[in-house]
Amino acid sequence: MVQYVITPWRNRSELLLARQHLYQQKRDDEERRRAVAQVSVWMQRGNCPHLVESTAILTSAILNDVPGNSTYCVRAAYSAAFCRLRVIESESFGLCYWSLFVLMVPVNGLART
């Protein structure tokens, strides 16, 4: 009996093209924006893998981290992306992890209290 796997992308090459644009070495923000938009469409269709969604959310936060944007908005975008990645990571591996606050102290320069 044939087992069908329903995916939000049309074919494998569409998924690989999005991956190429999200992880490219040269910094082409327009291509990354198109890839994030494509993943947003896939999210609306359903059955989009959580890691693909999380990668797009983190990439979107990076793209929005430009001078002129509100610091609080940029921080909120990064926080949402990192929290999403941590939740997925902990569910995937079922392991005990350090809290996100402890991990972000060196990044944000927060003082431990």
Supply 9's token pair: 């992308």
Return the pLDDT at 32: 94
CA 49, 17, 69 angle in degrees (round to 5)? 75
Supply 85's token pair: 């990645």
Q: Each residue of 7-53: pLDDT tens digit?
A: 999 999 999 999 999 998 888 899 999 999 999 999 999 999 888 99
pTM for this structure? 0.72
Phi, psi angles (nearest 5°) of residue 51 = -70, -35
pLDDT reading at 82 higher than 90? no
Which 3 state secondary structure label does DSSP give 10? coil
